[in-house]
A = this chain, B = another copy of it.
Amino acid sequence: MSAAREILSMNRFDPGRIGGIDGAIAGKIRRRGEQFGAASVLFYERPIEMVSASGVHLFDADGRRYLDVYNNVPSVGHCHPKVVAAIAAQAAALNIHTRYLTRPVEAYAERLLATFPAPLTNLLMTCTGSESNDLALRIANSFTGARGIVVTEAAYHGNTAAVTEISPSSLLRRRPAAHVRTIPAPDIAAGGDVGARFAAALKAAIADLEAQGLGFAGLVVDTIFSSDGIHADPPGFLRDAAGIVREAGGLFVADEVQPGFGRTGAGFWGFERHGLVPDIVTMGKPMGNGFPMGGVVTRPELLDRFCAETGYFNTFGGNPVAAAAGLAVLDVIAEEGLIDHAQVVGARLKEGLEALMPRHAAIGAVRGAGLFIGLDLIDAEDGSPDAALTSHVINAMKERGILIGAAGLHGNTLKIRPPLPFAEDHAALFTDTLDAILAER
């Protein structure tokens, strides 16, 4: 079983174990399997039927409440009333494409673009992070005339054909495509200068792409390396890489689908922590708090080239309901001070988790920024990644009413990524529960 396969099977319900499940849920799981076939993926050894959600909580069909420490799409809180009201009002007024002018889209583009540094002045609206990264790849290919892309070893950038090729974590039986090179994620635990090591690996990958005649189109990185296990420190470690990318004539594509919209607690975008300005920025998940929307922000000259070669139009992209949802999300982030909140609560949560380390040798590392923290679980004896323990913790957490997931090349990193209104008492509950579960092992 490859590392990628481990990640994907992590916390995945095994349909072969349906016999061990009783009650009404068993019939629903079977029905889902019949409807979605092999594409059905459900979380947990005993899947959950969810019926409602509010703030940082979800409620299942039995009325049981779960604290959400995992879902980053409902980023300003599940079913935030302000976002819901904006969607309802705009859906009742007008929902049409961008070939007409509409006020919500004009206003949204204005507000969103204001969060970017100067040369990044153009926005393309899509429906998903996958569509955004797919488009970014094509803009990069078109502008550079090159094909080669560098990504990290356990990267995930989305689900289209082109984006899956640059998402090693999605490839189960296939190898990465010929035009893709993977480099290790920048892990501070490896010691030395994280940024220099990452830049050296990048430089070697670029040289290899050029030696193979593929050329170098760009580096695509999630600026907090989510699926690689969350790597945030030290701030600035990506700056050397950005320099290497420019020297080689490629583009720096910042995938902000996960770190963007304030999650790191240090500004609106993950790249800000690194003191660099990307050539292309892609967005998705939290952008509409669950309303399907994504975006690409870039410099005008990159679009000029792309649009001269290819007619691009996105039917649903930039519909005014998405724009209204997006505007409400921006309002809520500002009004509720969610970026500062993520910084404060995230720091407290990280401290609390670090404080568990002396008591639990199974905690190998705690990394992160703001409300995006990775916690490695390892074998206490030999220090190796412990995916089985991680799975145990995830399911034991769920039995205690807490939702959490996993990430990382070895599937042994708890991915701690709650809706941003997550408060200090929620952080304390999570930390105490983890403490108790590890103590019982």
The chain A residues found within 8 Å of chain B, CB to CB, are 4, 8, 25, 28-29, 31-32, 34-43, 47-53, 58, 71, 73-74, 78-79, 81, 83-84, 87-88, 91-103, 106, 109-110, 113, 121-124, 127-131, 134-135, 137-138, 159-162, 164, 169-174, 284-285, 289-293, 300, 303-304, 306-316, 319, 321-322
Contacts and interface: CB of A to CB of B under 8 A. Distances in A.
Copies in the complex: 2
A170 B292 CA distance: 24
B307 A173 contact: no
A441 to B, nearest CB: 26
A303 B170 contact: no
Contacts of A309: 172-174
Given A36-B98, A87-B88, A169-B311, 17 more contacts: A38-B303, A38-B304, A39-B312, A41-B99, A50-B102, A51-B102, A58-B96, A73-B316, A84-B91, A91-B290, A96-B290, A127-B131, A129-B315, A130-B314, A131-B159, A159-B313, A161-B161
A100 B71 CA distance: 12
Given A79-B92, A97-B73, A312 B35 contact: no
A160 to B, nearest CB: 5
B94 A35 contact: no
A94 B78 contact: yes
A177 to B, nearest CB: 12
8 contacts: A36-B109, A37-B307, A38-B304, A39-B307, A48-B100, A73-B95, A161-B161, A291-B321
Nearest to A53: B94
Contact of A161 (B81, B137, B300): B137
A96 B310 contact: no
A129 B181 CA distance: 30
A313 B43 CA distance: 12
Nearest to A307: B38
A306 B41 CA distance: 14
B138 A161 contact: yes
A47 B304 contact: no
Contacts of A285: 315
A282 to B, nearest CB: 14
A293 B322 CA distance: 13
Contacts of A319: 290, 292
B71 A96 contact: yes
Contact of A93 (B36, B52, B103, B170): B52
Nearest to A29: B101
